[in-house]
């Protein structure tokens, strides 16, 4: 069964196709998009070993001229140096304005490939083929691309929408369990900020921490409802002028924690889980949210096998300082996304360092 979700944008709309074993159809899918002949497939060594040949064979069978390149895996390689590598490969392969980069991998590969495509020849096509749950439900959709600055995550980047997003659900079978759990953090996020029905479905599952315990129908709902939530929000506010900021729920403290642990200790999704626990409690302390609902959220995060406490020994003042570097700071005030009910959030800049300190000290 294939689900197709449309991302409707003023200048360029595109489809997200969700189907099992669809990777070997990628060539045909792209053939309909009026792209140039040349494709640069970007991946990492592990993913490429599993799925590279399937994708390349399908693209070549559809008439594309395909080059491939693997970047090393991991958030710490999400740097301008990696982008320069991609520029060199783009030049070697004489990519043209009509050419396409295909990102086959998780969030790091997707963000970097998207940014290289956004800035090579002032913008060439990119197609996202996410291979982690997190990339499928979040980072592959919506056009945010970028790399990290040594002092802050995703500070360097651009908006550059993909021409197409292909989600092959079979790929999840080889996904390490820790990656599945990290992705589940973003799924829980959609439940809290947008889709109470998804939240309820997640609550009904006995376990969320391993693929084999998640029923196929629930996995379908997780993917389609999450992608739909992201498409809805991005369609209403492509460049984060307003509404889109709600997608950053849990990311404010999350980013700071990732930065202070040098992007090595925690997966992005794990940090988001911790950030949601923190933001939820701030909301409760401010009288915006019921403690009972925060507890329901935290129970889901735990059920997904995710941490709900700060890593031991982390400097709380360091977190508060790092928040000032957040992209969402305006006139020196950190903006927080806070829940008011399951499925509804608000954005506020009324959260003080004291509010944050008080919550973090108890985590």
**What 3-state DSSP class applies to 342?**
coil
Q: Is 224 annotated as a binding residue?
A: no
Binder among 19, 54, 80, 218 for a copy of itself (CB under 8 A) = 80
Distance (Å, whole) CA 207 – CA 13: 36
33 neighbors 164 (Cβ within 8 angstroms): yes
* 252-285 per-residue burial string, b: 16 or more CB within 10 A, e: under 16: bbbbbbbbbeebeebbbbbbbbbbbbbbbbbbbe
Q: How far is the CB of 156 from a copy of itself (least distance, A)?
A: 6
Find the part of the chain contacting a copy of itself (CB under 8 A) among 44-52, 134-142, 150-158, 257-265.
150-158
* 100-127 per-residue burial string, b: 16 or more CB within 10 A, e: under 16: bbbbbbbbbbbbbbbbbbbbbeeebbbb
Cα→Cα distances 206→57, 192, 193, 202, Å: 40, 19, 22, 9
157 contributes a contact to a copy of itself by CB under 8 A = yes
Transcribe 199-215 into DSSP letters: HHHHHHSS--SSGGGS-
Alpha helices in 124-176 (DSSP H): 133-134
Q: Is 171 annotated as a binding residue?
A: no
111 neighbors 139 (Cβ within 8 angstroms): yes
122 contributes a contact to a copy of itself by CB under 8 A = yes
Q: How far is the CB of 283 from a copy of itself (least distance, A)?
A: 24
Binder among 20, 57, 149, 178 for a copy of itself (CB under 8 A) = 149
Query: Across 283-335, where does the E strand assignment appear?
Result: none
**CA geometry: angle at 330 spanning 154 and 187, to 5°?**
50
286 contributes a contact to a copy of itself by CB under 8 A = no
Q: How far is the CB of 139 from a copy of itself (least distance, A)?
A: 13
Find the part of the chain contacting a copy of itself (CB under 8 A) among 112-120, 128-136, 273-281, 312-320.
112-120
323 contributes a contact to a copy of itself by CB under 8 A = no
96 contributes a contact to a copy of itself by CB under 8 A = yes
Q: Judged by CB, which is closer to a copy of itself: 114, or 130?
A: 114
Of 230, 207, 338, 334, residue with least CA distance to 276: 338
Binder among 155, 219, 314, 363 for a copy of itself (CB under 8 A) = 155
Find the part of the chain contacting a copy of itself (CB under 8 A) among 48-56, 143-151, 192-200, 354-362.
143-151
Distance (Å, whole) CA 360 – CA 363: 5
Distance (Å, whole) CA 211 – CA 172: 8
262 contributes a contact to a copy of itself by CB under 8 A = no
236 contributes a contact to a copy of itself by CB under 8 A = no
Of 225, 234, 227, 236, residue with least CA distance to 195: 225
Binder among 330, 340, 341, 346 for a copy of itself (CB under 8 A) = 330
118 contributes a contact to a copy of itself by CB under 8 A = yes
98 contributes a contact to a copy of itself by CB under 8 A = yes
Q: How far is the CB of 239 from a copy of itself (least distance, A)?
A: 7
75 neighbors 148 (Cβ within 8 angstroms): yes
Residues serving a catalytic function are: 122, 144, 186, 230, 240, 244, 248, 251, 255, 268
Sites for a copy of itself among residues 164-223 (CB under 8 A): none
62 contributes a contact to a copy of itself by CB under 8 A = no
Which residues of the shown chain bind a copy of itself in the complex (CB under 8 A)?
A: 10-11, 36-37, 80, 84, 87, 91, 94, 96-98, 118-123, 144-146, 149, 151-152, 154-159, 239-240, 324-325, 327-332
Enumerate the known binding-site residues for Zn(2+). Answer: 186, 251, 268
């Amino acid at each position: 069964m294939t689900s197709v979700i449309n991302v409707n944008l003023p200048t360029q709309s595109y489809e997200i196709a969700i189907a099992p074993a669809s990777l070997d159809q990628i060539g045909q899918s792209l053939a309909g998009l009026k792209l140039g002949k040349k494709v640069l497939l970007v991946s990492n060594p592990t993913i490429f070993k599993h799925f590279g040949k399937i994708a390349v064979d399908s693209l070549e069978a559809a008439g594309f001229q395909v080059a491939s390149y693997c970047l090393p895996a991991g958030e710490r390689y999400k740097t301008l140096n990696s982008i320069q590598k991609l520029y060199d490969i783009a030049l070697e392969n004489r990519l043209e304005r009509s050419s396409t980069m295909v990102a086959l991998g998780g969030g790091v590969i997707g963000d970097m490939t998207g940014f290289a495509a956004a800035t090579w020849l002032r913008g060439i096509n990119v197609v996202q083929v996410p291979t982690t749950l997190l990339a499928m439900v979040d980072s592959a959709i919506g056009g945010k691309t970028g790399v990290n600055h040594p002092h802050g995550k995703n500070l360097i980047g651009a908006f550059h929408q993909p021409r197409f997003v292909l989600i092959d659900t079979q790929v999840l079978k080889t996904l390490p369990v820790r990656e599945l759990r990290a992705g589940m953090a973003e799924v829980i996020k959609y439940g809290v900020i947008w889709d109470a029905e998804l939240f309820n479905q997640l609550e009904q599952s006995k376990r969320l921490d391993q693929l084999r315990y998640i029923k196929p129908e629930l996995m379908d709902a997780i993917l389609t409802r999450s992608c739909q939530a992201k498409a809805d929000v991005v369609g209403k506010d492509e460049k984060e002028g307003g509404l889109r900021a709600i997608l950053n729920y849990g990311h404010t403290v999350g980013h700071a924690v990732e930065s202070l642990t040098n992007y090595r200790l925690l997966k992005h999704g794990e940090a988001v889980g911790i950030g949601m626990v923190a933001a939820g409690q701030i909301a409760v302390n401010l009288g915006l949210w019921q403690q009972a609902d925060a507890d329901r959220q935290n129970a889901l995060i735990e059920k997904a096998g995710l941490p709900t406490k700060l890593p031991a020994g982390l400097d709380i003042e360091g977190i508060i300082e790092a928040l000032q570097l957040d992209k969402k700071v305006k006139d020196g005030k950190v903006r927080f996304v806070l829940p008011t009910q399951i499925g509804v959030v608000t954005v506020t800049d009324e959260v003080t360092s004291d509010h944050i300190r008080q919550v973090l000290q108890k985590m």
